[in-house]
């Protein structure tokens, strides 16, 4: 059964893409986080978490993340940013479809006691350093780190106080949207049709 399914997918790929791939189809929207430690490139799961992606892009275009710091840093777990003092922001309904892999970009949220509907904070997001199955099914993953995991790793090693706040927080200088060639997806598709 699995072999038949694989062959069917392979046939569909050949019908859709022909014998060669149009590389322009693999340019996707991304966000570039220019930090004091280097750049982090994030691509989006637009189909799986459309409302989170739209919200994130609007915040980027407004300049919201420029000058923010990574306010929560836990080595081998997460780095988190986007904290704001505003209290009246509208939460985002959950779009929980993805698991927590290394480099997953997820929306922060309050715990189940005060947020039983698992709605996401509209501004805070985190990046995981390792797979975290204990978080699966509880948070919306809306993107992934396509480049710059070395920067994420470096930030995660910053010394913190007992509340996970870094002694010397890393600042995000600027965040902007950019087209990104998804080489990983391109190579995978190229491999399946040849």
CA-based nearest residue to 129, from 32, 40, 29 = 40
What integer pLDDT is reported at residue 136 of this predicted model?
A: 97
CATH for 24-193, among 2.40.100.10, 2.40.50.840, 3.20.20.80, 2.60.40.420?
2.40.100.10
Per residue of the chain (194 residues), give pLDDT as tens: 666 666 566 556 555 555 566 777 788 899 999 999 999 999 999 999 999 999 999 999 999 999 999 999 999 999 999 999 888 889 999 999 999 999 999 999 999 999 999 999 999 999 999 999 999 999 999 999 999 999 999 999 999 999 999 999 999 999 999 999 888 777 877 777 65
Q: How far is CA 81 from CA 4, 42, 118, 190, 191, in A?
A: 45, 14, 19, 36, 37
pTM of the model: 0.85
Q: Tens of pLDDT along 107-163? A: 999 999 999 999 999 999 999 999 999 999 999 999 999 999 999 999 999 999 999
The domain ranges of the chain are 24-193
Contact 82, 123 (CB under 8 A): yes
């Amino acid at each position: 059964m699995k072999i038949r399914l694989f062959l069917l997918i392979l046939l569909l790929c050949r019908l859709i893409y022909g014998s060669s791939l149009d590389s322009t189809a693999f340019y996707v929207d991304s966000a570039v986080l220019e930090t004091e430690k280097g750049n982090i490139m994030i691509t989006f799961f637009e189909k799986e978490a459309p409302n989170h992606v739209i919200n994130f892009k609007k915040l980027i275009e407004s300049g919201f993340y420029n000058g923010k710091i990574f306010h929560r840093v836990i080595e081998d777990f997460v780095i988190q940013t986007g904290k704001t003092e505003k209290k009246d922001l509208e939460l985002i309904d959950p779009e929980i479809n993805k698991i927590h892999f290394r480099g997953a970009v997820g929306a922060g949220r309050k715990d189940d006691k005060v947020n039983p509907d698992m709605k996401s904070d509209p501004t805070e997001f985190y990046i995981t350093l390792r797979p975290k199955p204990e978080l699966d099914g509880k948070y919306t993953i809306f993107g992934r780190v396509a480049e710059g995991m070395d920067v994420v790793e470096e930030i995660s090693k910053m010394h913190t106080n007992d509340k996970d706040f870094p002694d010397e927080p890393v600042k995000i200088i600027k965040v902007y949207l950019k087209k990104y060639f998804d080489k990983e997806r391109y190579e995978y598709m190229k491999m399946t049709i040849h």
